[in-house]
Structure 1
Amino acid sequence: MQDVDKTKDYSKCSEQTDIVFLKVHKAGSSTVSNILQRFGSSRKLNFVLPKKTSHEYGYNYIGEPGDSVYAENILPVPTGEQYNIMCNHVTYNSTAFRHIFPMNRFFYLSVIRTPLEHFLSVIRYYGYSKNSYIQNILSIRNGNPLSEYLKSPEDYEPIIPYFSYTNNRQSVDLGLPIDAIGNVSAIRAYVDIIRRDFDFVMLLEYFDESLIYLKRKLCWSYKDIIYHPKNSRWNNEKHTLSVQDLDRLRWWNSADYILYEELHGDFWEKIRNAGADFFDEVLHFKRITEMVRLYCANVDVTDDLEVKASRWEANFTITAVDCLMLGLDELQFLDKIYFENYGIVQTKPI
């Protein structure tokens, strides 16, 4: 065990409270949203909230599919106050975002994953939905359904491109115009905009590393970034992709591959500059996360969990209430925030 540095000044930096999080479908964004929702709720910060009827379709989306964030599709901030956190689904638009979230005040954050794992996650997750076009793909009986889909994906795609989760969805969420898909020069130019605008893009495959970097960058605590994975589903069907399938996927999702490969390099450059003890802290955080997971899994828990001080942070406590907040799904927490910020009761407030 590492010796505790008793001379460590745990309050030498100021935590960042103004965060724009651009959610990307099936890239761990609901898990990140829970982190931000807990952080903002515990500090009574102002969230950006969709101007929508209680639990209507797309209740956690700002605007309609393809819309960005505008004053008319979000609830106004209370008089004399300002927005602090945005973590709902919305399509990125640099001009619209800058107007409401000045880049000199807000930390711009997002998360992506490898296009292959994204594709497989979409199939696993939306394969449960009977109304999803993914069901049509999985219903193909002529050989491997994913192989058949990748031979001619246009034949199975939704009529409205913004309803597709398999056609460069990560890039589309991050604002790549639909008509730019397939145009390599336009894609690279747009990726440069994302690299310019976003302070940090997490990689789901390196989630703990991403969170420790974020903790250091935002001057947050372990308690702020502890997480329970959200929206993970798995069906029993296994689909093996051939080398030819992978080539076809790379062609079909060329924008997502370019996006990931460019931002992957940026990610590791930031990590290399994060400090000599960075990976030691990542390992320490993994241990804390497992401790909290086991503690919260105990339904009969009565005593608080005391996490000892380390050379990175002072000691802190996890309670049964913390476990409850960790366990809330995105929509449950959204109901809670509507009530806390505006007194709007969507369902029974928690």
Structure 2
Amino acid sequence: MLVSTNFHTFFKIICCTIVLCVGMLFTTNWTRESGMCQHISMQYIRPLKTRAVAREDHEIFEDTRKALMSVNKSSFNLDSPQTFSTGNNSLTINQTATGEGKKPKITHIAFLKVHKASSTTMQNIFFRFGLKNNLNILLPKRGNYLQKKADQMPIKRPNHYDVFAIHTIYHKSFFDSLLPVDAVKIAIVREPIDRMISAAYYYRDVWHKPYLTRVPRAGFIHNLVKYPEKYEPSFFSDTRNAMARDFGLPNKFKPTDTQGVQNYLQHLNSQFLLVLSVEKIDESLVLMKRLLGWELKEILYVTKNKHKHTPIVLSAYEKSKFRKTSFLDFKIYDYFTNVLDEKLNKMQEDFWKEVNYLKTILKRLNVFCSSNNQSLGIVIAKTNWNDQFSIYKNDCKLMSTNELSFIAKLRARHRQRNS
């Protein structure tokens, strides 16, 4: 009887240990696996402690418990109360950057590159992260747009892609087919009027889009907004419901279909770990850094793909008109910025101190990168949020590399790795 009891006890403890190890390997499922381990402990192991079991049973239990607690403390920050659950993703925010509590990096990331929403800046961040961490970055065979999986560059088996940050239209099944099952999805949104104005000038002046070149230059934006039936009849375009198009929303919705749109956005939200906001880009990046267990240097940036134009101020009537014309973009922006604000409101004082620190470092970075001083670099001292690191002119050059040049560089790297 004693042998049987010992065997069953040992077997259950081993099961608990296996669950913990699986949780460590698949970090995006850490919270769920940890809960399973606790369940097994509550249901099977803890009651054994209160029974008159053999002494060696108790010793096995205590030794295993101490080992598990040791792994817990050294590998994960479980004391933080802030955990985000999104679809199959459940991640705890890392509250520290160095020492105890530092979580493993999340390296499987699919980024929805929303047009004219600082997405090239974000793409550069993800590309640099992939290079630094020796990851496989998914690229199309040509161009900078991926329409279907068959268009991606082939990769040697059993290797897989780790990072995706190329323009495409979002469809869950398509995104899920590109990266490992534990990949997290991230996107970004921008205030719709600012996004439209930026896109209108950019696609008229740089890409010479026909529907935009037909709009009179005098009062360009005002004409585009006031007379959409004349200049912009399409439901989706580069300047009308463009974010909705990138997020894969159908064109069946009408402005009065409030509940239908809300349901669709809730469905989308369940699939994305985080949707950043251009208007709160630094707050968004610090939140992303903590969620993914990244380093401070990995979220630094210089503004990219910025097309200068005359400042535009719309009248109240024009704003109202555009809100009706591009109603889906406003719905998307309002929804996801509210979700982001809810997450930010849960952050503690240390988070906001890190945001201010990031802003300070970005100012130093921009001064250094824009200067002609060919000094060796600048050193960023160790803090509660980062280990010491240096920034060199080569870092500035990589941060300033335009999209097509960066993709060409990555293609050459990919061919070399898969030849």
Q: TM-score range by the shorter chain?
A: 0.7 to 0.9
C-alpha change, 1:289 and 1:10, in structure 2 (3 Å) is farther
TM-score normalised over the length of structure 2: 0.72
Q: 1:226 aligns with which of 279, 283, 300?
A: 300
**Equivalent residue number for residue 3 of structure 1:** none
Aligned to 1:46: 136
CA distance in 2, matches of 1:174, 1:32: 16
**Which amino acid in structure 2 is aligned with residue 32 of structure 1?**
M
SS at match of 1:201: strand
CA distance in 2, matches of 1:193, 1:211: 24
State how 1:303-314 maps to structure 2 within 5 Å: 303-314=376-387
Please, which of 145, 150, 155 is the counterpart of residue 61 of structure 1? 145
Written as runs of structure 1 = structure 2, the 5 A alignment for 1:112-123 is: 112-123=189-200
Change (3 A) 1:11 1:343: farther
Larger helix proportion of the pair: 2
Deviations 1:12-67 (A, max 9, x none): 21011111000111100000000001110122211111122xxxxxx10112xxxx
Q: Which whole-Å CA distance do the structure 1 matches of 2:100 and 2:393 have between them?
A: 25
Alpha-carbon contact 1:295-1:301 (below 8 Å) kept: no
Match of 2:157 in 1: 79
SS at match of 2:285: helix
Q: Distance in 1 between matches of 2:291 and 2:343?
A: 11
Match of 1:245 among 318, 336, 339: 318
Give the aligned partner of residue 55 of structure 1.
none
**Structure ID, larger Rg:** 2
Aligned runs of 1:250-329 on 2, under 5 Å? 250-329=323-402
DSSP 3-state at the match of 1:137: coil
Give the SS at the match of 1:178: coil
Task: Specify the alignment match of 1:212 in structure 2.
Answer: 286
Q: 1:136 to 1:185 in 2, by over 3 A?
A: farther
Greater relative contact order (CA < 8 Å, ≥ 6 in sequence): 1
| 1:330 equivalenced with 2:408 (yes/no) | no
Q: Which position in structure 1 is the counterpart of 2:188?
A: 111
Alpha-carbon spacing, 1:232–1:10, altered in 2? closer, same or farther (3 Å)? farther
Matches of 1:136 and 1:241, distance apart in 2: 20
Paired with 1:208 and 1:289, the residues of 2 have a C-alpha distance of: 10
C-alpha deviation, 1:302, in angstroms: 2.8
Mean Cα deviation higher: 312-321 or 176-185: 176-185
> C-alpha distance in 2, partners of 1:79/1:154?
51
Report the counterpart of residue 343 of structure 1 in structure 2.
416
Q: Distance in 2 between matches of 1:193 and 1:154?
A: 31
Query: 1: CA distance between counterparts of 2:260 and 2:138?
Result: 31
Tell me the residue number matched to 1:15. 105
Deviation per CA, 1:279-299, whole angstroms, max 9, x where unpaired?
111110111111111112223
Name the % identity.
Answer: 28
Post-superposition shift, 1:148? 3.0
- Choose which of 254, 277, 283 in structure 2 pairs with 1:203: 277
State the superposition RMSD in angstroms: 2.2
Q: How far is 1:223 from its partner?
A: 0.9
Structure-2 residue corresponding to 1:152 = 227
Give the Å deviation of 1:97.
1.6
Deviation at 1:250, TM superposition (A): 0.7
Distance 1:130 1:26, change over 3 A: closer
Distance apart, 1:189 and its partner CA: 2.6
Which amino acid is the alignment partner of residue 230 of structure 1?
Answer: K
SS in 1 for 2:308: coil
Distance 1:130 1:45 in 2: 32
Describe the shift of the 1:281–1:121 C-alpha distance in structure 2 as closer, same or farther (beyond 3 A): same
Question: What residue ranges of structure 1 are gaps of 5+ in the alignment?
Answer: 1-5, 53-58, 64-69, 345-350
**1:177 aligned partner:** 250
Pair 1:96 & 2:174 matched: yes
Equivalent residue, structure 2, for 1:348: none
Q: 1:188, 1:134 → 2: CA distance?
A: 31
Report the TM-score when normalising by structure 1.
Answer: 0.85
